[in-house]
Amino acid sequence: MTQEEPSGDVLSQGVMSTGEGMRIFPDVEACIDCGGCVVACKRTWDREIGNQRIDITTMLEGTAGPQGENARKTARLEAGENPGETSLPMQCYHCENAPCVSVCPTDALQKEDDGFVTVTDDLCVGCQYCLSGCPFGAPQFPDSEEGTAQIVGTGGIMDKCTGCRERQEASKGPACAEECATDAILVGGAGEIADELEKRDSGPFFNDEAMRIIFGEEDAQLFQ
């Protein structure tokens, strides 16, 4: 377990704790690509058509694994086997070692002390360096013809998952996680998420490098 874990009552099987120190992480064994998380996010934050803060990526669509369509995806992948059709909610995971923050030339992106990765609209010039740096495709640029991007950038002001920070400050879970029918989006401390995946006999799905980006060197070891 980590030295410091967020506190709070258990809110649901997927949302275990909120606020400072929380992390967002997908359980690919549970995701059924229903799109509920996308709808919940767009409805909560009134996003424009074409701007999704969550994108469900489906790999090997229509392909069954050796033991059926919906079992042991992460174990198969770790063993070098075909995991079969796998759906993965891709969004900002508020990484510990956020590459988007490292490459942002205007400091528009920041890793805050409470763990959230935030963007300051007034500082974003739409250069899209963050998009090239993020391995999870989180940054979006919905207003490509507006703002300072018209002068110095190549895209609009960046938009991404906020982690529903305002909801979490009110002890609520992110809308996507609260409304996920299968509890496929996990919210909690790194130790809580690792324990939940182990209880489900699931796994992290991402490779070691991605896990170090998301959780940091020390906490990534909790998933091994």
% of the chain surpassing 90 pLDDT:
65
- Rounded to the nearest 10 degrees, how much is the dihedral formed by the CA atoms of 89, 94, 97, 102? 100
What are the residues facing 25 on neighbouring strands?
186
131-146 per-position pLDDT tens digit: 999 999 999 987 666 5
First to last CA, the chain: 12
Q: So what's the pLDDT on residue 141?
A: 86
Residues ≥6 apart with Cβ < 8 Å to 214: 23, 25, 93, 95, 96, 206, 220
Query: Using the 8-state DSSP alphabet, how is residue 68 labeled?
Result: B
- Per the prediction, the chain carries an average pLDDT of 87
Band of the pLDDT at 96, cuts 50, 70, 90?
Answer: very high
Residues ≥6 apart with Cβ < 8 Å to 83: 59, 60, 65, 73, 74, 76, 77
Q: Does position 17 have pLDDT exceeding 80, yes or no?
A: yes
Band of the pLDDT at 85, cuts 50, 70, 90?
Answer: confident
54-78 per-position pLDDT tens digit: 999 998 888 776 655 566 788 877 7
Q: So what's the pLDDT on residue 3?
A: 44
φ, ψ of residue 128 in degrees (nearest 5): 70, 15
